[in-house]
Chains A and B, each alone.
Chain A
Amino acid sequence: GQQLNQSPQSMFIQEGEDVSMNCTSSSIFNTWLWYKQDPGEGPVLLIALYKAGELTSNGRLTAQFGITRKDSFLNISASIPSDVGIYFCAGRPNSGGYQKVTFGIGTKLQVIP
């Protein structure tokens, strides 16, 4: 099935560094979502974006909905060891009700203390 393109696919960073990852799609989405998945658990929603150009923060996390509606990025500032995990972007055609969610392949983040 279709999956969104995420980059980088994995990264090692030093604790305290900032992190940036992005996601692109060949299709337009009207909702962009960012999830984090810890080992042995299901994905947990971090940030939801509903409007092109929107910039939203959640603590040390900031995400933006691209103007073209075909991309999004996630920044993590001042990384800490518990940021380790796999980050998935996901897109949905519309903001409300039922719409199939398409996930990216994930960015695996390792933080070196």
Chain B
Amino acid sequence: GAGVSQSPRYKVAKRGQDVALRCDPISGHVSLFWYQQALGQGPEFLTYFQNEAQLDKSGLPSDRFFAERPEGSVSTLKIQRTQQEDSAVYLCASSSGDGTQYFGPGTRLLVL
């Protein structure tokens, strides 16, 4: 596609539920990033993939957060046993490797 797409755009989950957020990067982009953006804050780095390899997951806040990109294209961010503090916008970005990151519209997660 023309840009990075994310689905769902909105997700409401009950506390304790598992959620899965999908990112479709720009075709051919080898690098993929996930960010968490709390209300009124800037995006905070979660994890980075180069092709299918997860090279940096230092930003994942707990072991309830898990990301994968099995074929080096689509990526899924999974959050297990969601908590209220997980409520945020989850942004995905992709890059061709020149350093410029192109962001998707984000998934707005609300945990009740």
Determine the main DSSP class of A at the interface with B: loop
CB < 8 Å A-B pair total: 61
Contact B44 A103, beta carbon cutoff 8 Å: yes
Measured in the bound complex, the distance between the Cα atoms of B4 and A31 in whole Å is: 23
Measured in the bound complex, the distance between the Cα atoms of B42 and A1 in whole Å is: 11
Task: Report the nearest B residue to A31, measured CB to CB.
Answer: B99
Task: Report the nearest B residue to A88, measured CB to CB.
Answer: B42
Interface string of A69-98 (1 = CB under 8 A from B): 000000000000000000010101001111
Contact B93 A42, beta carbon cutoff 8 Å: yes
- Complex partner residue of A96 from B59, B99, B103, CB under 8 angstroms: B99
Using a Cβ–Cβ cut-off of 8 Å, how many residues does chain A contribute to the interface with B?
A: 26
Tell me whether A106 and B42 are in contact in the complex, defined as CB-CB below 8 angstroms, given that A40-B105, A98-B48, A100-B48 are known contacts: yes
Interface string of B91-111 (1 = CB under 8 A from A): 101000111111111100000
Using a Cβ–Cβ cut-off of 8 Å, how many residues does chain B contribute to the interface with A?
A: 26
**Which residues of chain B are within 8 angstroms of A98 by Cβ–Cβ distance?**
31, 48, 50, 55-56
Contact B45 A101, beta carbon cutoff 8 Å: yes
**Which residues of chain A are within 8 angstroms of B72 by Cβ–Cβ distance?**
none
* A14-22, A43-51, A60-68: which lies at the interface: A43-51
B positions within 8 Å CB-CB of A: 4, 31, 33, 40-45, 48, 50, 55-56, 59, 91, 93, 97-106
9 smallest CB-CB distances across A and B, nearest first, come from A42-B103, A103-B42, A1-B44, A103-B43, A43-B103, A88-B42, A41-B105, A42-B104, A105-B42
